[in-house]
């Protein structure tokens, strides 16, 4: 048997301009049977969104993950309630010399050795639910909730920034082609070859010192917007490239030709004809992007280039906790676990979304070297 | 092939040039502090600062400064602002540690990623598949310091099985190994999870190709079809990814892992340089890292054309 016989036919070159080679059906037997079942049974009712929604609803695992994520978001939004009514303290309030009365016992919040009190849960009426954070004696639970607000804000808003930038650049590059495409693609290439962590660290450190001034807009160096914009910016090519590939494929389709024949202008074609067709890809990328953003935020903050004091985030908490890893491992593990749970729930839900919206897995690979468009690429290490 | 190579190399040089300009602009147009004032020290007189400016060339125009900087980097004479160390030499000293970390981790993540991905695809839909999928998702979602701190706390402090941190040269293999095993695991888990998922979906796609049906029709056993026909072609995206990821890491991309475990490689040096805003060092490590990314991009394209004859270098890789 010559090895040639093992190779597939010459059609459907992966990663040609048409990234989604039509006609390839995903091999996932579960999905396959679903798709077939739906075309035969009740699946014909409703448009593609209705079908996707039905498919998602059946994926209990993904819905559970969405529930976990929403729960985490709600908890963090309610941080002031916990701080004012349960813990009676603020995220930056120190309790170095205070004592805690529990039943008949009196405990010091911070021992003379500098070791802080451990988790009390409801023993002290909710005070120091997860203990205190090192020698300053701040309430860990309150800090965790407030830190989560920063982390989630950065994760979600940076994903919005990435999506807007990527969609605009991809539409311009993919639709106009020619010089516009060349210029945008080359800029993307440069950012692409720049190690993500390094670029964001460099920007983060420079801006953390000087702040950012763009015309009338002045961002203070401690503003949460600085890490948000940086993270949103550095992930843009990872989303813009695969989108551009899809647009290139759409440009050749008949419905665009029909729109042109009707006399539609470029804006109309880009936003009313092409954009709706990209929605499923955008939604999947957006979701999985949130997870990566939160991981990058943690790394930036850990290295001192992300969220700046007096704000705190899960990343800054890990950074502070790591210094006392051996005496108080919980101070690193608690915020770390918070990140893990949030990112995991986003990833599981995003995965379910992808299966529901995109059963032909066209988002999975643009198999051309260097342009893997798997949206949930490995986060910063 | 030759034309392709020449074009890619020229493109790569252009990208590296653009990156160096970008870094230069980040640190010069958005000025943090006056570097001359920092080099001169705390109690410097204005005259001293002037002298330092002159000596280091900060009073020249930006293009001239850029030119001097690049010349110094490529002649191996570039000096750090803070401590008077030679940066190129410092990077060269970091290479063995970074390479040990990356190669070891790569072996672990490739082995587990491919094994788990293969099992997952072969048993797709079954309990093993579901279990491995959950494991892989946890692996992908894990912040590297979460795993690293748990490993550090448990194995170096609680049961004191491994030494805490640092890097030992390969001349003492036992020590080298025991210092690197925890960093290897921390780094590999993320990638192993991700690769197993990539391989799984790639195998499921390939399993529907016509030539696989042909192989089955010929009467080949399931095992043979899977390992010889499906796995071979499914590995192509994994190899692509591997080339790119490895390029990032070997160029000092494992900044967090090296910092957490205090491995004196290129990544740790990068972190230090960034913290001290030592511009010459940042410039040098960025170019070093970008060089490997660009290099591995080209290597991946070549490997790709070699592995998948349907792709011709001249036409597809623009």
Residue B137 pLDDT > 50:
yes
CB-neighbour burial class of residue B204 (10 A; exposed 0-12, middle 13-18, buried 19+) = buried
CB nearest A370 (choices: B233, B259, B300):
B300
* Average pLDDT of the residues in A54-59: 85
Report the distance separating Cα B189 and Cα A129, nearest Å.
Answer: 32
- Highest mean pLDDT pick, B27-31, B56-60, B129-133: B129-133
Reported confidence tier of residue A304, pLDDT bands at 50, 70, 90: confident
CB nearest A28 (choices: B124, B144, B300):
B124
DSSP annotation string for A179-237: HHHHHHHHHHHHHHHS-HHHHHHHHHHHHHHH-EEETTEEE-TT-THHHHHHHHHHTHH
Reported as type and span, the H/E element at residue A106 is strand A105-108
Q: Token digits for A226?
A: 């600085």
Report the distance separating Cα B186 and Cα B261, nearest Å.
Answer: 10
- Highest mean pLDDT pick, A102-106, A247-251, B284-288: B284-288
Asked whether the beta carbons of residue B142 and residue A340 sit closer than 8 angstroms, the reply is yes
Q: At what angle do helices A225-234 and A275-302 cross, to 10 degrees?
A: 120
Residue window 317-336, chain A: list those with CB within 8 Å of chain B.
318, 322, 325-326, 329, 332-333, 336
DSSP annotation string for B222-279: HHHIIIIIIHHHHHHHHHHHHHHHHHHIIIII-HHHHHHTT--SHHHHHHHHHHTT-H
B257 φψ region: left (φ > 0), alpha (ψ -120 to 50), beta (else): alpha
- Highest mean pLDDT pick, A3-7, A277-281, A332-336, B66-70: A332-336
**pLDDT computed for residue B37 by the predictor:** 66
Q: Which residues contact A149 (CB under 8 A, 6 or more apart)?
A: A76, A77, A79
Task: Please tell me the least confidently modeled range out of A52-61, A129-138, A284-293.
Answer: A129-138
Shortest distance, CA A378 to any CA of chain B (angstroms)? 6
Q: Which residues contact B28 (CB under 8 A, 6 or more apart)?
A: B62, B65, B279
Asked whether the beta carbons of residue A24 and residue B205 sit closer than 8 angstroms, the reply is yes
**pLDDT computed for residue A40 by the predictor:** 42
CB pairs under 8 A between A and B: 234
Residue B38 pLDDT > 70:
no
Report the distance separating Cα A6 and Cα B210, nearest Å.
Answer: 10
Contacts of A378 in chain B (CB under 8 A): 140, 190-191, 194, 245
Task: Please tell me the least confidently modeled range out of A79-83, A157-161, A357-361, B272-276.
Answer: A357-361
Q: Token digits for A347?
A: 């990833």
Reported confidence tier of residue B183, pLDDT bands at 50, 70, 90: very high
**pLDDT computed for residue A138 by the predictor:** 82
Q: CA nearest A100: which of A125, A130, A135, A81?
A: A125
**pLDDT computed for residue B174 by the predictor:** 85
- Highest mean pLDDT pick, A36-40, A362-366, B60-64, B80-84: B60-64
Q: Token digits for B65?
A: 């400064």
Report the distance separating Cα A251 and Cα A257, nearest Å.
Answer: 8
Contacts of B240 in chain A (CB under 8 A): 367, 369-370, 372
Residue A295 pLDDT > 80:
yes
CB nearest B198 (choices: A9, A329, A374):
A374
Contacts of A193 in chain B (CB under 8 A): 15-16, 19, 290, 293-294, 297
Residue window 248-307, chain B: list those with CB within 8 Å of chain A.
248-249, 251-257, 259-260, 270-271, 274-275, 277, 282, 285-286, 289-290, 293-294, 297, 300-301, 303-304
Residue A17 pLDDT > 70:
no
Q: Token digits for A115?
A: 């070791």
Asked whether the beta carbons of residue B190 and residue A291 sit closer than 8 angstroms, the reply is no
Report the distance separating Cα A205 and Cα A95, nearest Å.
Answer: 31
Residue A361 pLDDT > 80:
no
Asked whether the beta carbons of residue B140 and residue A347 sit closer than 8 angstroms, the reply is yes
* Average pLDDT of the residues in A307-333: 86
Q: Is the ipTM of this complex over 0.90?
A: no
Answer for the pair A260, A137: CB distance below 8 angstroms, yes or no: no
Report the distance separating Cα B308 and Cα A1, nearest Å.
Answer: 18
Query: Between B310 and B113, whose confidence is greater?
Result: B113
Residue A282 pLDDT > 50:
yes
* Average pLDDT of the residues in B211-238: 86
Answer for the pair A201, A300: CB distance below 8 angstroms, yes or no: yes
Answer for the pair A301, A208: CB distance below 8 angstroms, yes or no: no
Task: Please tell me the least confidently modeled range out of A65-74, A203-212, B16-25, B182-191.
Answer: A203-212
Residue A119 pLDDT > 60:
yes
Question: For the stretch A44-75, what's the b/e string if a residue is b when 16 or more beta carbons lie within 10 angstroms of its beta carbon?
Answer: eeeeeeebbebbbeebeebeebbebbeebeeb
* Average pLDDT of the residues in B128-145: 89
Interchain contact A103–B (C-beta under 8 A): no
* Mutation site, B143, B200, B238, interface A, largest A CB count within 10 A: B143
Instruction: Tell me the pLDDT of chain A averaged across its residues.
Output: 78
Q: How far apart are the first and last CA of chain B?
A: 13
Reported confidence tier of residue A3, pLDDT bands at 50, 70, 90: very low
User: Looking up tokens 């002031």, which residue turns up?
Assistant: A80
CB nearest A347 (choices: B31, B137, B146):
B137
Residue window 76-115, chain B: list those with CB within 8 Å of chain A.
none
Q: Where are any strands of DSSP class E within chain A?
A: 99-102, 105-108, 212-214, 217-219
Asked whether the beta carbons of residue B138 and residue A340 sit closer than 8 angstroms, the reply is yes
| Residue range A194-224, pLDDT digits in tens | 878 888 888 888 887 767 776 677 777 778 8
CB nearest B254 (choices: A333, A346, A381):
A381
Reported as type and span, the H/E element at residue B92 is helix B87-122
**pLDDT computed for residue B312 by the predictor:** 60
CB nearest B290 (choices: A15, A193, A322):
A193
Q: CA nearest B151: which of B117, B118, B188, B122?
A: B188
Residue A23 pLDDT > 60:
no
Report the distance separating Cα A83 and Cα A367, nearest Å.
Answer: 50
Question: In chain A, whose CA is at the least distance from the CA of B126?
Answer: A30
* Average pLDDT of the residues in A96-125: 72
Q: Which residues contact B98 (CB under 8 A, 6 or more apart)?
A: B249, B250, B252, B254, B258, B263, B265, B266, B267
**pLDDT computed for residue A164 by the predictor:** 96
Torsion of the alpha carbons at A190, A196, A200 and A201, rounded to the nearest 10: -120
User: Looking up tokens 């009514």, which residue turns up?
Assistant: A85
């Amino acid at each position: 048997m010559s090895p040639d016989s093992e190779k597939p036919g010459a059609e459907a070159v992966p990663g040609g301009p048409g990234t989604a080679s039509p006609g390839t059906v995903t091999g996932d037997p579960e999905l396959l049977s679903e798709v077939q079942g739906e075309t035969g049974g009740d699946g014909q009712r409703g448009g593609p969104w209705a079908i996707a929604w039905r498919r998602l609803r059946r994926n209990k695992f993904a819905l559970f993950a969405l529930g976990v994520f929403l729960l985490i978001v709600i908890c963090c939004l309610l941080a002031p309630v916990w701080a004012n009514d349960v813990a009676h303290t603020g995220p930056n309030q120190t309790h170095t010399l205070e004592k805690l009365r529990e039943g008949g016992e009196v405990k010091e919040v911070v021992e003379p050795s500098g070791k802080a009190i451990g988790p009390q849960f409801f023993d002290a009426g909710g005070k120091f639910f997860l203990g205190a954070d090192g020698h300053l004696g701040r309430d860990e639970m309150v800090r965790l909730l407030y830190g989560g607000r920063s982390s989630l804000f950065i994760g979600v808003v940076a994903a919005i920034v990435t999506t807007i930038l990527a969609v605009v650049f991809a539409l311009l590059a993919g639709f106009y082609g020619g010089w516009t495409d060349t210029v945008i693609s080359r800029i993307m290439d440069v950012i692409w070859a720049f190690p993500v962590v390094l670029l964001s660290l460099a920007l983060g450190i420079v801006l953390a010192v000087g702040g950012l001034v763009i015309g009338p807009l002045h961002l203070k160096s401690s503003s949460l917007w600085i890490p948000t914009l940086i993270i949103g910016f550095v992930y843009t090519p990872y989303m813009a490239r695969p989108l551009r590939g899809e647009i290139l494929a759409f440009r050749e389709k008949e419905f665009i030709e029909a729109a042109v024949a009707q006399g539609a202008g470029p804006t109309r074609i880009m936003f009313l004809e092409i954009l709706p067709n990209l929605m499923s890809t955008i939604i999947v990328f957006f979701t999985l992007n949130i997870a990566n953003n939160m991981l990058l935020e943690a790394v930036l903050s850990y290295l001192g280039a992300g969220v700046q004091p007096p704000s705190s985030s899960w990343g800054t908490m890990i950074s502070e906790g790591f210094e006392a890893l051996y005496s108080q491992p919980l101070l690193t593990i608690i915020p770390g676990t918070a990140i893990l749970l949030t990112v995991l729930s986003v990833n599981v839900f995003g995965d379910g979304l992808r299966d529901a919206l995109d059963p032909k897995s066209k988002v999975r690979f643009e198999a051309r070297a260097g342009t893997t468009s798997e949206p949930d690429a490995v986060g910063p290490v | 092939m030759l034309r392709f190579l020449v074009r890619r190399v020229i493109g790569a040089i252009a990208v590296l040039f653009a990156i160096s300009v970008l870094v230069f602009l980040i640190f010069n147009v958005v000025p943090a502090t006056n570097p001359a004032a920092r080099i001169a020290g705390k109690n410097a007189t204005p005259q001293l600062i002037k002298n330092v400016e002159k000596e280091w060339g900060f009073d020249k125009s930006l293009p001239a400064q850029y030119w001097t900087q690049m010349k110094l980097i490529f002649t191996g004479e570039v000096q750090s602002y803070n401590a008077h160390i030679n940066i190129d030499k410092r990077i060269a000293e970091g290479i063995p540690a970074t390479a040990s970390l990356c190669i070891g981790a790569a072996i672990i993540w490739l082995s587990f990623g491919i094994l788990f991905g293969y099992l997952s695809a072969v048993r797709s839909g079954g309990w093993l598949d579901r279990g491995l999928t959950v494991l892989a998702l946890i692996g992908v979602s894990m912040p590297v310091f979460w795993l690293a701190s748990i490993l550090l706390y448990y194995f170096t402090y609680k049961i004191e099985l491994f030494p805490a941190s640092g890097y030992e040269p390969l001349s003492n293999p036992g020590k080298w190994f025991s210092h690197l095993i925890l960093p290897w695991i921390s780094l590999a888990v993320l990638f192993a999870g991700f690769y197993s998922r990539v391989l799984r979906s790639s195998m499921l796609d390939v399993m529907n190709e016509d030539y696989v049906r042909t192989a089955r029709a010929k009467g080949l056993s399931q095992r043979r079809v899977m390992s010889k026909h499906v796995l071979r072609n499914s590995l192509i995206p994994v190899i692509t990814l591997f080339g790119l990821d490895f390029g990032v890491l070997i160029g000092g991309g494992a900044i967090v892992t090296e910092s957490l475990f205090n491995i004196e490689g290129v990544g740790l040096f990068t972190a230090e340089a960034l913290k001290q805003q030592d511009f010459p060092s940042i410039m040098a490590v960025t170019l070093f890292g970008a060089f490997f990314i660009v290099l591995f991009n080209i290597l991946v394209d070549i490997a790709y054309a070699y592995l998948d004859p349907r792709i011709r270098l001249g036409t597809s890789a623009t």
